[in-house]
Amino acid sequence: SLAGVDLLAEINRLRKERNAVILAHYYQKPEIQDLADFVGDSLELSRKAAATDADVIVFSGVRFMAETAKILSPDKIVVLPDMDAGCSLEDSCPPDQFKAFREAHPDHIALTYINCSTEVKALSDIIVTSSSAEKILAQIPPEQKIIFGPDKNLGGYLARKTGRDLLLWPGVCIVHEAFSETELMKLKIEHPDAPIAAHPECPPYILDHADYVGSTSGILDYSKTMEGDMLIVATEPHIIHQMEKAVPEKTFIGAPGADGNCNCNVCPYMALNTLEKIYLCLRDLEPRIEIEEGLRLEAKKSLDRMLELAS
Ligand code: 13P
Ligand code: SF4
């Protein structure tokens, strides 16, 4: 039993002993964000994982992020506090079906959101994150036909924003799908001066009301630079922790789901990670991410393209 273990003290002792770096996504619980060596969006976390000189990467996020770290840093031990930390976007895109889709459209390249399995990355030409997608898309010749998966909301947003015709895979994030337009409008009537910042994984009927659309890091930057003292945040609400730390004088309200509050928009996969599990994976160096070398090299090609084109 872990009763009586001073988890923070033990995590701090073990991270030094193991020469470990703790990387956390903005959707992690506040106590995890606060102990991490680095907190960031998907692109920043990939860059950190690729550049670290630590021996161990503790990835406090979801499995596709930890797999990305392993693909880019194969010589490191990469541990994920809970192997069940998946992602609904990954689940919505089984590799065999994605492969068949590609084969049915041989004249298209596959531009693929990083929220997918290693197998789907290996079947893709270029990976994007929400912060890099527009910049990368702008570098693809206009006549090139493109499949975009697995997030139809991000893909639809990119298509509307750039005027390009993208062939969309029909995946969604269950967290961002849970926002209610009706409840958001009620909140807006209560706080007419508060702008709305939204993640592009939101459906179009939410994005249509947004004053700012961007990745988690983009939304965080917006919260610091925007005028006014209140912001409505349409993404996973744990990011509000960083906003409250950065600009404590402003008020941040999580956009509501159908029940009128933002609790249904907590990512259930991200929420699996706890201090206890971080301690255990530092202690045991398990559970570890392992990827077969041929598959890793295939997936690395599309990730390297992303890092190149996003820089
Ligand atoms: P970003 O942090 O890249 O905006 O991604 C959000 C997300 O849903 C991660 O799963
Ligand atoms: Fe996946 Fe959505 Fe959770 Fe991000 S918030 S990890 S996209 S389920």
ipTM score: 0.97
User: What's 76's domain CATH number?
Assistant: 3.40.50.10800
Does a structural domain hold residue 2?
Answer: no
Mutate to test the pocket of ligand 1, among 23, 39, 41 (most ligand atoms within 8 A of CB): 41
Q: How far is the CA of 70 from the centre of ligand 1 (A)?
A: 18
If you search the block for the tokens 């102990």, which residue do you land on?
Answer: 35
Together in a domain, 303 and 165: yes
Q: Quick one: 164 and 232 in the same domain? A: no
Same domain as 200, residue 66: no
Give the chain's end-to-end CA distance (angstroms, integer).
Answer: 46
- pLDDT tens across the length of the chain (311 residues): 888 889 999 999 999 999 999 999 999 999 999 999 999 999 999 999 999 999 999 999 999 999 999 999 999 999 999 999 999 999 999 999 999 999 999 999 999 999 999 999 999 999 999 999 999 999 999 999 999 999 999 999 999 999 999 999 999 999 999 999 999 999 999 999 999 999 999 999 999 999 999 999 999 999 999 999 999 999 999 999 999 999 999 999 999 999 888 778 999 999 999 999 999 999 999 999 999 999 999 999 999 999 999 98
Kindly write down the DSSP assignment for every residue of 215-246, as one continuous string.
Answer: -HHHHHHHHHHSSSSEEEEES-GGGHHHHHHH
For residue 281, tell me if it sits in a domain. Answer: yes
d(CA 183, CA 248): 25
Q: Are residues 217 and 283 in the same domain?
A: no
Residue 259 maps to a domain: yes
User: How high is the pLDDT of residue 201?
Assistant: 98
Closest residue by Cα to residue 199 from 176, 227, 169: 176
Instruction: Write down the pTM of the prediction.
Output: 0.96
**Residues 73 and 101 grouped into a single domain:** no
Q: What is the pLDDT of residues 51-98, one digit of tens each?
A: 999 999 999 999 999 999 999 999 999 999 999 999 999 999 999 999
Q: Tell me the residue range of the domain where 229 lies.
A: 176-265
Number of structural domains, the chain? 3
Kindly state whether residues 132 and 279 are assigned to the same domain: no
Residue 1 lies in a domain: no
Report whether 42 belongs to an annotated binding site.
Answer: yes
Q: Is residue 193 part of a domain?
A: yes
Which residue type, as a one-letter code, is found at position 214?
G
- How much distance in Å is there from the Cα of 267 to the middle of ligand 2? 6
Identify whether residues 214 and 258 lie together within a single domain.
Answer: yes
